[in-house]
Amino acid sequence: MVNAIRQKVIVQPGGRIELHAPELKPGTHAEVIILEDSPQPPGRSLRSLIGTAKGCFSSPEETDAFLSQERDSWD
């Protein structure tokens, strides 16, 4: 059976990480996976990208107008 232990730690100088888990028994084999929390680089948010690609609409109103025009052309 696999048990998970999740802890937040601070990386020490030299890349050293210290983990305290008294529930682990000495001699037990364990696998450690490091998931680094990286700050988001300053820049554009995903929301700012909506409608910026070629062929995209910049607003819901623009989308509605296009769809209405397309429906009218079917007749």
What does the pLDDT look like over 35-44, one tens digit per residue? 988 777 777 7
pLDDT (0 to 100) of residue 48 = 79
β-pair partners for 16: 12
Two tokens at 40?
A: 């988001």
Mind giving me the DSSP string for 62-74? HHHHHHHHHHHHT
The per-residue pLDDT of the chain, averaged, comes to 87
Q: What's the pTM? A: 0.45
**In degrees to the nearest 10, what's the CA dihedral of 59, 61, 65, 67?**
70
Q: What percent of the chain has pLDDT over 90?
A: 55
Per-residue confidence band for 50, with pLDDT thresholds at 50, 70 and 90:
confident
